[in-house]
Amino acid sequence: MTSNLTRRDRMIAAIGGVVVLYAVAAGLWFISQEQAWRTAAKKYDTAAKKTLSERKLITQRQKWYDAYEDEREKMPIFDEDAKDVDTHWLSRMDALAQDTHVAISQRQAGQQLEAGDVFEQPIDVKRWEATITSLVKFMHALECETNAMFDVREIAVKPSSHKGFLTGSFKLACAYMRGEKEEEDNE
């Protein structure tokens, strides 16, 4: 089949095709740029909100510093060379558990962690058993304990095989400081 188009017509069609391809490419480029613009606008909004939040925190710096100092004063202080910190926290927890009728059968002190001038002694209680009332009293006693900072990080609760009792596990963090009491007394 021979083409009825002249060489001139074929050139015009080719140029027209190239123009159409450039138009399609330009259209796609504008569409992709519109999506990039939307993405950039979302990132800008997120950054603006974060900046506003950080500015608010900066203006409240003294408030947070005072709150930190108040909490820091409540923290128990151990000597720098004290080795029995885990024993101290385990016995305090056991005493509270006994007072509130929570039976702890498996517990283990973890490795001491340091965060700035605050230390943390994790305790992993793998098995406990109590009534719901006793458990609530125990958690409340941990929260209200004076000269101690306890924080329940995780808790798992399920029904026990004993009727009316619950069982489970929890992770407790005990915060304290080391050696600053003697320095403050000397000043």
* Alpha carbons 47 and 87: distance in angstroms, whole number: 47
Other beta carbons within 10 Å of 149? 19
User: What pLDDT, in 10s, does the model give residues 41-75?
Assistant: 999 999 999 999 999 989 999 998 898 888 777 78
Distance CA 123, CA 92 (A): 12
Dist CA 177 CA 145 (whole Å): 17
pLDDT band at 96; cut points 50, 70, 90: very high
**Is 70 exceeded by the pLDDT of residue 3?**
no
**Percent of the chain, pLDDT > 70?**
94
Q: What is the predicted pLDDT for the residue at 183?
A: 44
pLDDT at residue number 178: 82
User: How high is the pLDDT of residue 132?
Assistant: 94
Higher pLDDT, 48 or 85: 48
What pLDDT score was predicted for residue 185? 44
pLDDT of residue 154: 93
In the prediction, which pLDDT does 186 show?
44
What is the chain's mean pLDDT, rounded? 87
Task: Give pLDDT, residue 2.
Answer: 52
Q: What is the pLDDT of residue 157?
A: 94
- DSSP string spanning 136-179? HHHHHHHHH-TT-EEEEEEEEEEE-SSTT-EEEEEEEEEEEEES
Burial of 130 (0-12, 13-18, 19+ CB in 10 A): buried
Alpha carbon of residue 107 to chain centroid: 24
**What are the pLDDT digits (tens) for 134-170?**
999 999 999 888 777 888 999 999 999 989 999 999 9
Distances, alpha carbon 30 to alpha carbons 17, 19, 24, in Å: 20, 16, 10
Whole-Å CA distances, 160 to 10, 101, 113, 127, 146: 87, 15, 33, 11, 31
**pLDDT tens-digit readout, 109-121:** 888 888 878 889 8
Q: What does CATH list as the number for 77-186?
A: 3.30.70.60
Q: How many CB atoms lie within 10 A of CB 148?
A: 18
Give percent above pLDDT 90 in the chain: 45
Instruction: Give CA–CA dist 2/10, Å, rounded.
Output: 13
Q: Check residue 86 and give its pLDDT.
A: 87
Instruction: Identify which has the larger pLDDT, 87 or 32.
Output: 87
